[in-house]
Structure 1
Amino acid sequence: MSRVFKMNFSGIYKMYIEKAERKDRTKEEVDEIIYWLTGYDDASFQAQLEKEVSVETFFAEAPQMNEKTALIKGVICGYRVEDIEDPLMQKIRYLDKLIDELAKGKKMEKILRK
């Protein structure tokens, strides 16, 4: 099992925000991406952060993964996201890819596959 599965999601979330803000994007945009991907809303997401759940638990308890995840394609951390076989690792990399697109200046409509 990958050690990232056991990491505290709130720590990774802080890194996502820092990455976005370094590129003049916002915490709100990061939140919008997370909500779009996982189905969390503000209250349920904040509850997960307060409980300091692991990455594994965060995705296991996600209300509804977006049906458009199949449209997320490309390479992140040297792996093609659409080819990752482990379902949990694929969800993690989907989120990594979306945050990476945000940091690279893509418009939210494109990131959210609208």
Structure 2
Amino acid sequence: MTKHRIYSMSFASVYPHYIAKAEKKGRTKAEVDEIIRWLTGYTQEGLDAQLEKKTGFEDFFADAPRLNPARSLITGVICGVRVEDIEEPTMQEIRYLDKLIDELAKGKTMERILRN
């Protein structure tokens, strides 16, 4: 089976779109970074390093210091698919992040987004 092309796509190439989506709705880059750090366990310095290296999505999640165990609480539909039903682990991680950014853009509080 061939891998989905997003796996090799640079995380840094999509990151500005996450920020733009959030800022368009009055949210901030800092909130986007907080979500990414919460999900992956990267420090801000680690996140910045991954962006600078232009790491692909597959390696970005594979190299994540500590994927948050609470990410299993992320549910809902993204791109017409329920995130909790995605069987391929890397794709599920990508869609978890997409869902969190969507929640940010929809005005949810950070406490709710980060499943506190």
After TM superposition, the score normalised by the length of structure 2 is 0.97
Q: Which amino acid aligns with 2:63?
A: E
Q: How does 1:1-114 map to 2 (within 5 A)?
A: 1-114=3-116
List runs of 5+ in structure 1 lacking aligned partners: none
Shift of 1:55: 0.7
Distance 1:39 1:12 in 2: 19
Shift of 1:26: 0.2
Instruction: Please list every run of at least 4 consecutive aligned residues from structure 1 whose deviation after the TM superposition is greater than 3 angstroms.
Output: none
Shift of 1:22: 0.4
Distance 1:64 1:12 in 2: 21
After TM superposition, the score normalised by the length of structure 1 is 0.99
Shift of 1:70: 1.1
Question: What percent identity do the matched residue pairs reach?
Answer: 63
List runs of 5+ in structure 2 lacking aligned partners: none
Tell me the C-alpha RMSD between the 2 structures: 0.5
Aligned residues: 114
